[in-house]
Amino acid sequence: MSKNLMIQGTMSGAGKSILTAGILRVLRQDGYRVAPFKSQNMALNSFVTRDGKEIGRAQAVQARAAQIEPSSDMNPILLKPMGDTTSQVIVNGVPIGNMRAADYFRMKKQLIPDIISAYDRLSKETDIIVIEGAGSPVEINLRENDIVNMGLAQMLDAPVLLAGNIDPGGVFAQLLGTVNLMSDEERKRVKGLIINKFRGDVSLLKPGLSMFYEYCKIPFAGIVPYVNLDLEEEDSISERLENKIARGSEEEIIRIAVVRLPYISNYSDFSILQRIPGVSLIYTKRADDIKNADMIIIPGTKNTLKDMNWLRESGLADEIIKASYGKALVVGICGGLQMLGEKIDDKDFLEGGGNCNGLGLLPITTTFNHEKMLRQTKGIIAGLTDDYVSLNGLDISGYEIHMGTSDMDEKKLPIMNKENVFGTYIHGIFDSAKACRKLLEIICEKKGLKDVTFDIEDEASHQEKELDRLADVLRDSLDFDLIYEAIGI
């Protein structure tokens, strides 16, 4: 059976997911067979495994760090929020229904056998499992039914590293308050503390570490500097979604506006676009921001009807329709594709219920049904028309996650276009450097720009380099002798 280590944080945003990925990469570089594990995740940015199961995006990134294939065993419970109090509940990669928070809280301990079984399967194939907690481990009102923090650490007999984010300030209070709210048994599991996202001169902080030890007698495992990494994220609090231009270079050739839907999901689709020299990208909720865009993207969503109604209320719907009759390319991905159609019908209340008209830019209607489409998709682009025929014949791959089905030809690839409107169910469609480059060149040609080329690196290669860079940072900043001792190696 595997040994293990658990990464907990003082709060959401402490950096648990990235620390887990980096530690996994270090352990893998050191020759160990490793795997990530998060018993319960809440995220709208998800991933589909090769066998058609849905997991949190962070666990897919962590699997890449561990250099293994992602599986639903790495994230046996995934919650996808559909509103303030309701989430779709996914167990072992398959949705089991929509639940109100109070109902899920009452039943979640029934899922412990699923958690343990998933962990045991991973344990048979690995030397070390690095477990990620969620939020804070000392939400005292949630402790009784905890299945993701100290409750899980106790079930799996896992040593814990506790991380605090110094960036907003108050990290010593975060750490001490968290430790003091733990029971004696829980506190004994904490083998080291981590100060994460530190900017500045470490020597100025070190006296505080010695002083702090007098309060809780737990050693520090390290101070991790703030690093501007370009790794895929899953949380809606991501800095990527701030309303500002992200430029690959000072000279803007193409401007892309991604509509920041209230229930936006899988925005990692656009990571590759944010680092291309000559491309500027903005996430926006403002109609004025899309008027000068060369490409407007309506991304995926976990509540298509609510977000479609929001598009109208915000004034964005009218601006998108106007833009489609000009030179701008309008792209819809997954839920965004559904919104580009003529009608959306959710008669079985799978995403809140009801029906509404779409933008009417593509000749499709969408009907929600109980079977969720979860699959990886790979093929050759075919059937595109107008200015986009030169994309036909290019290889493309990605994955699909959607409840609705649309009346379009999906025999080859679920992609279609009509004049300046382009829609697909495929997430990750921009990750292929060749197809992405060709699409940007088409946009330049429509703008009258000749012989423009773009320097684009494949997303997979880029992510590998970033994970190695993260591992280098953690080797320099964490005490791996302490970490290996905590693991028991």
Q: How confident is the model over 301-329, as a mean pLDDT?
A: 92
CA separation for the pair 20, 487 (Å, rounded): 14
CA separation for the pair 83, 147 (Å, rounded): 23
pLDDT of residue 15 exceeding 50 = yes
Q: How confident is the model over 275-297, as a mean pLDDT?
A: 92
Q: How confident is the model over 442-461, as a mean pLDDT?
A: 88
Q: How confident is the model over 85-92, as a mean pLDDT?
A: 93
pLDDT of residue 241 exceeding 70 = no
Residue 90 β-bridge partners: 78, 95
Tokens standing for 170?
A: 């108050």
pLDDT of residue 421 exceeding 80 = yes
Range 242-458 has CATH code 3.40.50.1820: no
Tokens 């993701």 sit at which residue? 148
Q: Please report the pLDDT score of residue 84 as a whole number.
A: 76
- Mean of the per-residue pLDDT values for the chain? 91
- Is 427 one of the annotated active-site residues of the chain? yes
Listed in sequence order, the residues at least 6 apart from 347 whose beta carbon sits closer than 8 Å to its beta carbon are 353, 355, 367, 368
Q: How confident is the model at residue 45 (pLDDT cuts 50, 70, 90)?
A: confident
Q: Please report the pLDDT score of residue 486 as a whole number.
A: 97
Q: Please report the pLDDT score of residue 370 as a whole number.
A: 80
pLDDT of residue 152 exceeding 90 = yes
pLDDT of residue 238 exceeding 80 = no
Q: How confident is the model at residue 141 (pLDDT cuts 50, 70, 90)?
A: confident
CA separation for the pair 349, 87 (Å, rounded): 13
pLDDT of residue 244 exceeding 60 = no
pLDDT of residue 198 exceeding 60 = yes
pLDDT of residue 426 exceeding 60 = yes
- Is 370 one of the annotated active-site residues of the chain? no
Choice among 427, 436, 444, 462 that is catalytic: 427
Closest CA to 92 of 126, 59, 54, 44: 54
User: pTM of the entire structure?
Assistant: 0.88
SS3 readout for the chain: CCEEEEEEECCCCCCHHHHHHHHHHHHHHCCCCEEEECCEEECCCEEECCCCCEEEHHHHHHHHHHCCCCCHHHCCEEEEECCCCEEEEEECCEEEEEEEHHHHHHHHHHHHHHHHHHHHHHHCCCCEEEEECCCCCCCCCCHHHCCCCHHHHHHHCCCEEEEEECCCCCHHHHHHHHHHCCCHHHHHHEEEEEEEEECCCHHHHHHHHHHHHHHHCCCEEEEEECCCCCCCCCCCCCHHHCCCCEECCCCCCEEEEEECCCCEECHHHHCHHHHCCCEEEEEECCHHHHCCCCEEEECEECCHHHHHHHHHHHCHHHHHHHHHCCCCEEEEECHHHHHHCCEEEECCCCCCCEEEECCCCCCCEEEEEEEEEEEEEEEECCCCCHHHHHHCCCEEEEEEEEEEEECCCCCCCCEEEECCEEEECCECCCCCHHHHHHHHHHHHHHCCCCCCCCCCCCHHHHHHHHHHHHHHHHHHHECHHHHHHHHCC
Q: Please report the pLDDT score of residue 240 as a whole number.
A: 56
Q: Please report the pLDDT score of residue 242 as a whole number.
A: 58
CA separation for the pair 279, 277 (Å, rounded): 6
Question: Which CATH number applies to 3-231?
Answer: 3.40.50.300
Q: How confident is the model over 311-324, as a mean pLDDT?
A: 94
Residue 255 β-bridge partners: 280
Domains 3-231 and 242-458 share a fold: yes
Q: How confident is the model over 31-55, as a mean pLDDT?
A: 95
Domain layout of the chain by residue ranges: 3-231, 242-458
Q: Please report the pLDDT score of residue 412 as a whole number.
A: 57
Q: How confident is the model at residue 237 (pLDDT cuts 50, 70, 90)?
A: very low
Q: How confident is the model over 47-72, as a mean pLDDT?
A: 96
Q: Please report the pLDDT score of residue 236 as a whole number.
A: 47
Q: How confident is the model over 458-463, as a mean pLDDT?
A: 87
Q: How confident is the model at residue 248 (pLDDT cuts 50, 70, 90)?
A: very low
Q: Please report the pLDDT score of residue 239 as a whole number.
A: 56
Lowest mean pLDDT among 186-195, 387-396, 471-480: 387-396
